[in-house]
Amino acid sequence: MLKYLKQLVWFFSLLVCLKRKPQDLPASEFLLVQTVLVYFLVGCAHSTLHQAFFQSILISGLDILFMILFVFLCLKIFRFGRRFSQTLTALAGSGTILTLLAIPVTSGLLRTQDSPVYALFAFLLLFLFVWSISVQAHIFRHAFSFSLGGGLWFAFLYNLLSYMLISGLLQNQASV
């Protein structure tokens, strides 16, 4: 079991370095569920740094629901529905790795707001965001059989729509 876990972590580490492709993953529903569950837990841990516990659960849940819907609809439109499991597993696994990297950076950003080091943490967070977009573009590129530019466009669209949905719903929740 530990060997299997090490192989998965290694695979997702190579994926975030753009050295592996989503189609290198097995099309496994079990792996998909486990990866999405870990992505949810890590997302909750990251969100609790700057949100209340209930909002963290809501944000992570909405993030996952939107990811599932976006990937499903796009793959259906481009007639690559059979790639759903691998694409979603790749997004959740790479998202887990990058979110784990973002936790100490976000924590540092929140703790150093009145310090000269704040700019360094802000830059690191921006770097992680750009890296995340690059990884998503890489995954979408292979999932949809597009060029890197097409994958980049979908990564940008995915992040923009996700941000609009989650921030819009959270604003509506706050006004209730």
One-character DSSP codes across 86-105: HHHHHHHHHHHHHHHHHHHH
| Secondary structure of residue 50 in the 3-state scheme | coil
| pLDDT above 90 as % of the chain | 88
Give per-residue pLDDT as tens, 74-130.
999 999 999 999 999 999 999 999 999 999 999 999 999 988 999 999 999 999 999
Write the CA distances from 76 to 23, 46, 88, 156, 166, integer angstroms.
17, 31, 13, 19, 23
Average pLDDT over residues 46-51: 94
Residues in the chain: 176
Q: What number of other Cβ atoms are within 10 A of residue 122's Cβ?
A: 14
Q: Residue 108's closest CA among 96, 97, 132, 124?
A: 124
Please, what is the average pLDDT of the chain? 94
For residue 176, the model assigns a pLDDT of: 54
pLDDT of 147 higher than 90: yes
Q: Helix 118-144 crosses helix 84-111 at what angle (to 10 degrees)?
A: 170
For residue 174, the model assigns a pLDDT of: 60
For residue 2, the model assigns a pLDDT of: 84
Spacing of C-alpha 168 from chain mean position: 19
pLDDT of 132 higher than 60: yes
pLDDT of 7 higher than 90: yes
